[in-house]
A and B are shown apart, each in its own frame.
Chain A
Amino acid sequence: MRNKSFIAALILIIGSGLLPVVFFDLDSAQASGVYVTGYISVCGDGVAHGDEVCDGNDLKGKSCQDFGFSEGTLACNVTCDAFDTSNCYTPPTPPGGGGGGDLARETGANFSGKAYPNQSVTLLKDAQVIATTITGSDANFSLRVTGLTSGIYIFALYSEDYQGRRSTLLTFPLSITLGTITNVTGIFIAPSIDLDKSEVKRGDNIAIFGQSAPQADIVISVSSDEEFFTRTISDKDGIYLHNFDSSVLEYGTHYTKSKASISNLAIISSFSHSVNFLVGTKNVLKTAPTKCPNKGDLNNDCRVNLVDFSIAAYWYHKSLSSAMKETECEKLNCDEAINLTDFSITAYYWTG
């Protein structure tokens, strides 16, 4: 009996040591709300990660024999997405021409994944737009940046849905090494989101809608004191719509956001922007969506970029003019001063 107690105690001690570790991971992931969507591999580092077919001398155990040749040296191509069999051969045929020597490698990064069908995807490098593309009907996109040097680059991606609503900015701070191509695959841009009403009469439905990839599993969160989750599936155009019954909500302001996943591809997006609505005594329809960011756009050009940053920087730690006070109140945090908080708001709504 005493031995049994001792073993049980030992298990509990080990268990108590592990418990905080398990909770740390879960809690930090949930509390922070920070999700990294995408798989990163570096072509040129000699290790075949993720979607890389091979990388340098890492041929994942393959040889010329696997490609129908009896002799020769199998190599990896410069983009790590295919084998180079140019030096494989079968006697008496001499080795195929070309090859030999190191292949000159570019320094760059590839980004690929899913956004919204037939919509634009914009890539920023260190806060400035560097490339844009249009997705296919399957919402797939691929972007390539070359001509980089060695160092830390902050890349960011966003998309716009069929009515011009922008997704959240998805950032990828990457350490780029000279002569390597960093591949970021499996990116899934967060869904766009909007509502049909700014105020809903308690008990009536409020429509929550937006766009994601086709046939994506959409999880919608409606939160106030208590958080409600509901699911829907986007159609072939990636559009989703859910009529949420407001009777479960208390009077007051509530927030909603959504995220998407495609289980067969094992990809999951981060949460969308959060939009708010009021549960009250009447229904008030929401105005048509605007392409312009809610905040940060100080010069009203529907973009948040270096110009807006410069306007804010001009007034940083200065007494604001009456006109600038109005702009600051409308487009920033309305504290009659330009300080770091205003720049943080600008950084959140950044479009490049």
Chain B
Amino acid sequence: MRYLYFTSLFCVLISVFYIGGTVYAAELFFEPKIQEVGVGQEFQVSLILDPVGEEINAVAAKLSFPEDLVEVVEIRDGSSILTLWVEKPALQNGKIAFAGIVPGGFIGILGPYEEPKPGKILEVIMRTKDVGQGEFTIEEAQVLLNDGLGTPADFQASNFKLQASRDIEVVPIETFPDTIAPEPFTPEIAQHPDMFEGKYFLVFSATDKQSGISHYEIQEVKNGIRETKWQRAESPYLLQDQALRSYIYVKAVDRAGNERIETIESQHPVRWHDNWWIWIIIILGSMIICIIWKILRKRD
């Protein structure tokens, strides 16, 4: 009987510990969590978000890595769950900084008869420079709930450990050629008194599911005929033609060089009498007709 008493007490304590101690927090972690690589070898690390039952709609962080041990070769965001970047992932003072949102929130990637799976935020291709041990850390991270208030979510961040040594054979990273253009997108002309002194500007955002978007280029042409010269641009872009008479072409270029061009028709197309060269033709034509008419009259 005493045996039963102690076992019951043990079970109750264990249950209370489990129930009371269970913490439901989102997780921000690297994949893989630990890796051994050779010197001079390129390797890939992904930053993953697991919402763990929460609905997350904004994430920002700075990823710190041992600069004496590794260098960044490439940052890929093509397969990111963050659909809009407030800060596109980039190197800033030796750290990879990013901030982005998922409109509507992210609860995990859904599949048939499966629990929601964690989603990738970005992946980094790095190259080892020297022998040694190092750790990638997640700093100044913010993970916000999709609750309309931007409430910070409870989350746990875990680091990535790297061991670089000479006696490990270099294995190249498997790459798949990206031959697919960025997804179709819809640029939009907008105006707001608190931006660009109330002038018209253009907003655009494209996605590329393979290598990710590299940059955008723009053309504003009045006659609608696309030229060969493009201008690099970022959204929001202050339009040069504030009369909105130009056709606007926006080109999204992915990291593999594939392009998608979207067009905005002229809002106020140039009318025929707005073209100075038409007036010159009319005047010259009229003069020629007058001269011919006078010559013909003289002959009569």
A residues near B (Cβ < 8 Å) are: 1-2, 5-6, 8-9, 12-13, 15-16, 19-20, 23-24, 27-29, 31-34, 36, 39-42, 45, 47, 49-50, 124, 126-128, 147, 149-154, 156, 169-175, 273, 295, 298-299, 305-307, 309-311, 313-316, 321, 323-324, 327, 333, 340-350, 352
Contact = CB atoms under 8 A, between A and B. Distances in A.
Nearest to B195: A314
B111 A175 contact: yes
B149 interface: yes
7 cross-chain pairs, A with B, having the tightest CB-CB distances, nearest first: A151-B209, A20-B18, A341-B150, A350-B103, A344-B150, A16-B11, A9-B7
A152 B79 contact: yes
A19 B102 contact: no
A340 to B, nearest CB: 5
B104 interface: yes
Given A126-B83, A127-B83, A156 B183 contact: no
A347 B120 contact: no
12 contacts: A12-B7, A23-B19, A152-B120, A306-B203, A309-B84, A314-B236, A340-B86, A341-B149, A341-B150, A345-B149, A347-B104, A348-B105
Contact of B210 (A20, A40, A151, A295): A151
Task: Determine the interface band of chain B, counting residues with CB < 8 A from chain A.
Answer: 35 or more
Interface string B98-127: 010111111111111100110110000000
Contact of A31 (B18, B53, B87, B191): B53
A5 B4 contact: yes
Given A149-B183, A173-B107, A343-B101, A333 B119 contact: no
A323 B194 contact: yes
A172 B117 CA distance: 12
A301 to B, nearest CB: 9
A149 B180 contact: yes
Given A128-B186, A350-B104, A36 B110 contact: yes
Contacts of B120: 152
Interface stretch (B30-38, B140-148, B160-168): B140-148
Given A12-B8, A150-B210, 4 more contacts: A5-B3, A127-B103, A299-B191, A347-B103
B73 to A, nearest CB: 22
A2 B113 CA distance: 46
Contacts of B99: 340, 343
Contact of B146 (A124, A306, A348): A348
Contact of B53 (A8, A29, A41, A127): A29
B14 interface: yes
A1 to B, nearest CB: 7
A305 B188 CA distance: 10
B58 interface: yes
Contacts of B235: 306, 310, 313
A34 B3 contact: no
B84 A324 contact: no
Interface in B194-221: 194-195, 201, 203-205, 207, 209-210
Interface string B131-165: 00000000000101111111000000000000000
Given A127-B84, A340-B86, A2 B3 contact: yes
Most B CB within 10 A of own CB, among A172, A298, A311: A311
Contacts of A9: 3-4, 7-8
A345 B185 contact: no
A228 B205 CA distance: 44
Contacts of B18: 19-20, 23
A302 B201 CA distance: 19
Contacts of A345: 148-150
B153 to A, nearest CB: 10
Given A32-B53, A311-B192, A314-B195, A27 B22 contact: yes
